Structure 1
Amino acid sequence: MPATVSDVIAALDAAYPRELAESWDAVGLVCGDPGEPVERVLVCVDPVTATVDEAVELGAQLIVAHHPLLLRGVHGVPADTSKGSLVHRMIRSGVALFCAHTNADAANPGVSDALAGALGLTVRRPLAPHADGAETGIGRIGVLAEPEPFSAFVERVGAALPATSPGVYGAGDPDRPIRTVAVSGGAGDSYLAAATEAGVDAYVTADLRHHPAGEHLEQRGPVPALVGVTHWASEWPWCGQAAEVIRRAGTVEVHVSTRCTDPWNVRANGSTT
């Protein structure tokens, strides 16, 4: 019997339980028939035109995305709107869409485990554990096999993640030894205090804003050095993790999207300050 959309969803729900999702989130099946057969799946970070194009070109019957397509409440999906047009195209092309967002962030293993693994970290515990005390929660704290200078660690991050136009940037003493590291896939400056309290040497996350980062670095006493990456790059390693979840569930061909959906695509020549 061929796998169905619901078979793939069952495997993803087991790996990324929906009860771990934040109350404001929108996870689950966005469009498509749970009973339809699936031979090919595309896993991506963003359900946007580029990845829908890729799914159609691959002949995929299901897109598994990290970010929701319809996070805010909507009253319609007319085809003359950007998101409505994607819904119509997927339905017409026989492509279902399933999203695993903050439930995938908090699961064990989840988004930040994939990021930590890409950086060569051995994970010790969540950065911000769930209140139930389980090994779930946002972010991860891990250790490198051997300490290395912060400048080398920033290079490590840049080499481990897919290239983007903004690249990878660091804030800290280039010679500072780095051994313990906190990571949080996606926008993570709300966890700066948690990283400081954990006593890590460095914190890697995306979408670091000027004021929170600056105020963090101005604190008295030791604080983690910061490594900033783009949102898409920080969460892309999860695609490989989710793909393995689907492959283990049955005979489904799974592809990880090769298209960069980071919105920043032009960079001026600059220098390090």
Structure 2
Amino acid sequence: MTTFTLADLRRETEAMWPADTAESWDRVGLVTGRNDAPLRRVLLAVDAVADTVAEAVAWEADALITHHPLLLRGIHTVAEDTGKGALLAALIRADCALIAAHTNADQPVGGVSDVIAKRLGLEDAVPLVPLAKDPSIGIGRVGTLPAPLSLRQFAELVAGVMPATVSGVRVAGDPDRAIESVALLGGAGDSLLDHPLVRAADVYLTSDLRHHPAQDALELAAAAGGPALVDVAHWASESLWLEGAAEELSARLPGVEFRVSQVRTDPWSFSVGARPGSELGAE
């Protein structure tokens, strides 16, 4: 049986998600670990948080691959009374490496947005923002449904595809509006609200839409045409690609066990008082 090391995992993750396809502000690749460490078990998760790190350590994983980089923004201490310091210390003590695949995993076939498009059954889906050196990959996707749906039906389709979260699926638009063309971006997407392909779509599916950008987009749509909006939890939209990633890595490194964490790292625990918008203020 072939014995693999962390160096082999780094090689394969780089082949699947090249670091040079990540956005310039991103921090991807190896965070902690040594190349000659043996590789037997690898856990995949959206986030490196206390629960996923504890899961990796309890399973005796040799590496944890997360979508969100633990050290995306600068820190000045890894003291163990800080959140990131405590996580890094736990991983290092357990000899568990940490690798981040973020915007470089958003871009390819089988990446974050591509998997959402496939789960929704979109046809002829192409990147919203193609990569210059390879236009077949890139950020986001835009495509068409096999048959038109009402906005409400589309939202129900999305709810059936995404894992359940406290915030569910939020929708802005006429529930009876016909939906054929769909633009989407896994993760936070209000930066693309003005993108021509988003503006031309019937609906834009993304996460973390803030009040003012969403409101401005809806007012513009009312005046000059534009998409309805569907907002899902950030964690939910970026969780679906992990199963395929684990399967691909398992094929590339036979004998290494890959597992997707079942921990929901969406930060919200519960909600109260939610009512449909049409009922707000009703007696």
Q: Which residue of 1 aligns with 2:14?
A: 13
Residue deviations 1:141-186, cap 9 Å, x none? Answer: 1222111111011011111111111111111111111121111011
1:232 aligned counterpart, secondary structure: helix
Residue deviations 1:181-206, cap 9 Å, x none? Answer: 11101100111111555621111000
Contact 2:142-2:197 within 8 A present in 1 as well: no
CA–CA distance in structure 2, aligned partners of residues 9 and 123 of structure 1: 32
Residue deviations 1:204-240, cap 9 Å, x none? Answer: 0000011111111111222111100111011001211
Identity of aligned residues (%): 47
Aligned positions, number: 273
2:179 aligned counterpart, secondary structure: strand
Q: Which residue of 1 aligns with 2:235?
A: 232
Contact 1:12-1:242 within 8 A present in 2 as well: no
CA–CA distance in structure 2, aligned partners of residues 197 and 256 of structure 1: 31
How far off is 1:73 after superposition? 2.2
Q: Which residue of 1 aligns with 2:56?
A: 55
Q: Does 1:249 align with 2:252?
A: yes
CA–CA distance in structure 1, aligned partners of residues 155 and 69 of structure 2: 30
**TM-score, normalising length from structure 2?**
0.92
What are the ranges of 5 or more consecutive residues in structure 1 without an aligned counterpart?
none
Q: Which residue of 1 aligns with 2:274?
A: 270
User: What is the one-letter code of the residue matched to 1:49?
Assistant: A
Is the deviation greater in 1-10 or in 189-198?
189-198
Q: Which residue of 1 aligns with 2:176?
A: 175
1:87 aligned counterpart, secondary structure: helix
Q: Does 1:202 align with 2:206?
A: no
How far off is 1:249 after superposition? 0.8
Q: Which residue of 2 aligns with 1:112?
A: 113
CA–CA distance in structure 1, aligned partners of residues 99 and 134 of structure 2: 28
CA–CA distance in structure 1, aligned partners of residues 58 and 207 of structure 2: 30
Contact 1:78-1:85 within 8 A present in 2 as well: yes
**TM-score, normalising length from structure 1?**
0.95
Q: Which residue of 2 aligns with 1:22?
A: 23
Q: How does 1:60-99 map to 2 (within 5 A)?
A: 60-99=61-100
How far off is 1:137 after superposition? 1.9
CA–CA distance in structure 2, aligned partners of residues 100 and 120 of structure 1: 25
Structure with the bigger RCO (C-alpha within 8 Å, sep 6+) is: 1
Residue deviations 1:9-48, cap 9 Å, x none? Answer: 2111111110011111111110111211111111110011
Q: Which residue of 2 aligns with 1:131?
A: 132
2:229 aligned counterpart, secondary structure: strand
2:135 aligned counterpart, secondary structure: coil
User: What is the one-letter code of the residue matched to 2:231?
Assistant: G
Is the deviation greater in 53-62 or in 259-268?
53-62
1:23 aligned counterpart, secondary structure: coil
